A and B are shown apart, each in its own frame.
Chain A
Amino acid sequence: MIELLNIWKSYGETTVLKGINLKVKKGDFIAIRGKSGAGKTTLLKIISLIEKPNKGEIKIFGRKANDLTDEEKSNLRLHNIGFIFQFFNLIPSLTVLENIELPLALAGIKKRERRKRARELLEYFDLLHLAERFPETLSGGEKQRIAIIRALVNKPKIILADEPTSSLDNENTLLVIDLLTEINRDKKLTIILTTTDLYEKLPTTKDYILKDGQLHTTPSVRTGSSQPISRRAQV
């Protein structure tokens, strides 16, 4: 699905990634652990083709990223990748509904249809009552769940979650992890998640530590609750 071959990335004098190799298969749940500034976000940006590596090759959905134009990369991101961020990254001047509609609009879906789809998803996650609210009026957990819905709305093949739980309390952290686990398990969606917590138990299939610009494998443990989404959403 995604293959990184000898990826190097520097910012000025600082080399953040030093020859990263990574293979991601369909249905993988990958955790990349690392301290702040280790290069986790850079790695996700390279995987999502937002940033270019200084050296190395990326193969994504069978295509070489080096050969793609910005338009093609954006299109690939739009239809195949869902992004979840540490600070939720909802656009503050748009309502919850509009935030979810954004990827659909970029995909060229008409207003009525995208509104319908966004509402359906909100309803599925028991969050329809937040539809007309602005992000600043939501709690951290609510914001992250809306961000997850936005990442899912275009039915992507892979979710990139950049420290999705680091701004959340324990309760919401569990909720988000459970949600991602369920998405991975039920929808067979590939997930790459980064975290600064080197010891947090995560339901991963592969576990890496990013240290000194290189990826090191660690054993992974599948955890997580088995509560249905609708009940968890009410927590």
Chain B
Amino acid sequence: MKLTSFKYLRRQPLITLALILTASSTLFSLTAFSLTGFHRGFIAYLGEEENVIVIYDKKSSTPFTGLVPTYLADIVSPLNGVLEVSPETIAPCIIRSQAVFLRGIIPKKFVNLNRLTILEGEMLSLKDFNSIIVGEKVARKLNLKPQEKILVFGVLTNHYLELKVKGIFTSNSALDDELLTPLYVGQWLRGTSYSQVTLIRIKINSNLISPYVILQKIAEASEESPSSGEPLERPQTTITPRTIIRFKMENLGVKEAQEFMKDYVNRYGANREAILIISTTTLLFSDMSIFVAAKTLILQHKREISILRSIGASRKLLKKDLLIKTLPLTLISSIAGVTLAAIALSLIQEHGYLQVLSHTIPFQLDLTILILNFTLPLLIVSVCILKAYTE
């Protein structure tokens, strides 16, 4: 290119453009990565695998507050294709003045759905009456160590318990922000009877059984359900007494774990598309600054452009050269913006500030966001230059 080696664009306006581009890109990346991270984390909360389904309470306004009969676990367990059934109770609690989620589980069953690695101490068993194991993130946040005794307040009940930290685990999932305790401890802190749990997760062999078959089986059970509670024989896997309680079929749902969580997200209009639209709106607002900055750059070099025109540079050549000089800068600034946003998010995460409902928002580079982040500024700067009046 004839003009490439001539640096006729002044440094100051170029630096200004680069700073505006970087700031816009950082702002967009921060918003978009946080929101999509929240979305992704929320949806993967109960497991990312397609063969995990959930029996849940359709009436509940959050995934943590529903109630379903515990005995449905016993109805589903013997079905062909059901690999594991895990009744779970989620209880919002306060420990050391911090809000945390505690999950009551049957450890032996739970570990077949979520791989837990004990980092310190020991694994929980159902007979550990006054014990918990703690996710590594919450352990770090609350500075918890094995063998330590902590006071746990159930937010929904005003019940409190002194529990001993039996171990610290990692799962590389949202569970790292939770505490796990035997099912009946969770039920007590949640304030429900032993006959009810928040949800039942089921691992299935999808070649042998589908959510629909499970739903049918539950529907049959609903027809047989008594008008009042009556004692049920105690199953071998639990040490808590269960009773059959009446339930309405229309209040129960059976879905894949991810779909179940998506339902809640969609209910509040926070689906991935909405999140991308919100993020892109941020980008469009910041793109206005990019547009103004690019326009200003051209205006600030009107004299240089007019000199070059007068000595024989064609409009086409000038526009081409301006693109060659500004587009790499635009790309580098966008990369810098993403990098800054990634560093900022990692720092924020490390200090435990980026959380929703006491769960850390997972940060992960998203291809759509990256493409938007790089293409929109390139497009805007290109349009500005191509539409510029280069007389």
Contact = CB atoms under 8 A, between A and B. Distances in A.
Given A91-B304, A93-B8, A111-B5, A83 B311 contact: yes
Interface stretch (B221-229, B256-264, B313-321): B313-321
Nearest to B309: A50
Contacts of A108: 2
A149 to B, nearest CB: 12
B2 A105 contact: yes
A73 to B, nearest CB: 8
Contacts of B9: 93
B123 interface: no
Given A71-B316, A89-B303, A105-B3, A94 B8 contact: yes
Contacts, number: 75
Interface stretch (A6-14, A74-82, A178-186): A74-82
Contacts of A121: none
A78 B316 contact: no
A70 B310 contact: no
A104 to B, nearest CB: 10
Interface residues of A, number: 31
A48 B304 contact: no
Interface in B299-353: 303-304, 306-317
Interface in A111-163: 111, 150, 154
Contact of A78 (B5, B10, B312): B312
B3 A106 contact: yes
A111 B311 CA distance: 18
Nearest to B316: A71
A82 to B, nearest CB: 8
Contact of A50 (B5, B304, B310): B310
A107 B9 CA distance: 20
B49 interface: no
B316 A70 contact: yes
A70 B307 contact: no
Interface string A190-213: 000000000000000000000000
A164 interface: no
B312 A79 contact: yes
B316 A51 contact: no
B7 A50 contact: no
Contact of B6 (A50, A75, A83, A94): A94
A33 to B, nearest CB: 22
24 contacts: A51-B391, A70-B314, A73-B314, A74-B309, A74-B314, A77-B310, A77-B312, A78-B311, A79-B312, A89-B303, A89-B306, A91-B6, A91-B304, A91-B307, A93-B7, A93-B8, A93-B9, A93-B304, A94-B6, A98-B6, A102-B311, A103-B311, A105-B2, A105-B5
**Nearest 4 pairs of A and B residues by beta carbon:** A78-B312, A74-B314, A83-B310, A77-B312
Interface of A: 48, 50-51, 70-71, 73-75, 77-79, 81, 83, 85, 89-94, 98, 101-103, 105-108, 111, 150, 154
Given A83-B310, A91-B304, 4 more contacts: A78-B312, A98-B6, A105-B3, A154-B312
